[in-house]
Amino acid sequence: MTRLQNKFALITGGTSGIGLETARQFMAEGAEVAITGRNEQALAAARAELGTKIWTIRSDAADVAAQRALATHLAARWPRLDVLYANAGDVTHGPLEGWEEAQWDRLMATNLKGPFFLIQSLVPLLGHHASVVLCGSTSAHIGLPQSSAYAASKAGLLALARTLSAELVAKGIRVNALSPGPTETPALGKLGLSAEAQALLQDDIRKLVPIGRMGTPWELAMAAVYLASDESRFVVGTELLVDGGVANL
C-alpha cells in the first residue's frame, strides 16, 4: 500500500490508542513517521511494537518551548513535513464544581495552546500540499455532563481548523479536523474519575452511540490516512466526524 509513499508524517501523542494505530497505518501506507509522547517507557513500548523504522521523540504537547524545539528537531533530520496529526490530548472530565485553575490550564495547554504553537513552529517545514489534521471530538457538539472543559478545548480546535485553513491555504497547507466519537482506547482510564464514576460515564457514553457500540482505533486511523493522503486534496477547513452518528442522529 502506497497512499502515503514518500511522505514525512508527525503524530503527537502517538504511544497508545488512536495515535499508535494511526502510526501503524501511516507506516503501512509508506510514510516515514515520527511520534511524540511524554513518557519514555511508553515511547519504548511503541518502538517495540512498531519496529525500528518509527522515530520516537519525547515531547510534552502542553509546553510551547517544547513545540518549538520539536520543529527544530524535525527540520534537522527531514527535508520537509507533509503530514501533521495533532493527536495528543488531555481527556480529563469532571463536574463544574470540581475544577481547579491549574487543572484547567493544563488541559487547555495540551489540547489547544500546544497544537496552535506547534503549527506556528512547523509552518516553515510544511511542504506544498501538506495536510494538518487536528484531533477534535464529537463532545464539542453535544452536552455530555462533566465534559465542559474538554469539550471547550475541542471546540477551539475545530475553530482553528477553519481559521488556519483560510490563513495557510495560500501556502498550499490544508487544515482539517478529525473528530472521534466514543472510542475504545486506554484514554478511557485517564478521565480523572473514580472507578465508579468512570463506569457510569462510559455506560452513558455507549448509550449515546446510535449504532450501538464504541469505535475502534483502526477506524479512526483509516480516516486519518484519508485526510493525510492526496485523496483528500479538495478537503479543506472542515471536520470529519467518525462517531457512530453521535453528533448527527
Q: Which residues are catalytic?
A: 150
User: 36: Cβ–Cβ under 8 A, 6 or more apart, which residues?
Assistant: 10, 11, 12, 13, 14, 56, 57, 58, 59, 61, 70, 88
Whose cell is 472521534? That residue is 180
Cα distance between residue 75 and residue 52, in whole Å: 20
Handedness of CA 56, 61, 66, 67 (dihedral sign): positive
- DSSP, collapsed to helix, strand or coil, labels residue 73 as helix
What distances in angstroms separate CA 207 from CA 69, 133, 144, 201, one per listed residue? 42, 28, 12, 10
Buried-state track 122-134, b at ≥16 Cβ within 10 A, e below 16: bbebbbeebbbbb
